[in-house]
Structure 1
Amino acid sequence: MPHTKTQLNCFDLPEMQLVENRLKEINTYDNPYLSEVTGYILSQGGKRIRPLLVLLCSDIYGANLKTRVDVAVAAELIHSA
């Protein structure tokens, strides 16, 4: 049987869009320089594998959506720091 490649687009998950929105939302500082620097770092995007894994694993254990998104955002922020 031939192997087929399946591509997972994590942005197809509505929860990942919530993570992206939250990352943009928290990047509001009184200091414009700080906002610019953190905005640049967070806008690099990348694969966002860590928040995706947090969302998927926490869903298995029945965590509520807000908690899942908050922890996924925290994982991405820690990774980006």
Structure 2
Amino acid sequence: MLTELGYPVRLSIVRVLAHGGKRSCGALPSPVSKSTTIHWRVLRESGVIYQRPADREIFLTLRCGGLDAKFPGLLKAVLDAEPED
């Protein structure tokens, strides 16, 4: 999980989802591009997020419960860490 969150774009996506719950992909801070969708795929395949299509939108949700069960306290520690400039 740390490898997946080692990229600033992925970490920013996880931070937004942690503070805002379910979000449409268009409402995330990074623009929707091919490189961004690769980040979503990595986060989804590693079990960090859940991705659900609805009509013409895709909604992302952070999998807090599953992550906390597998890695107790790790997600909170990552999110509480100060972002690097």
TM over 0.5: no
Q: Does 1 or 2 have the higher relative contact order (CA < 8 Å, sep 6+)?
A: 1
Instruction: Specify which structure has the higher proportion of strand.
Output: 2
Instruction: Specify which structure has the higher proportion of helix.
Output: 1
Bigger Cα Rg? 1
TM-score by length of 2: 0.28
TM-score by length of 1: 0.29
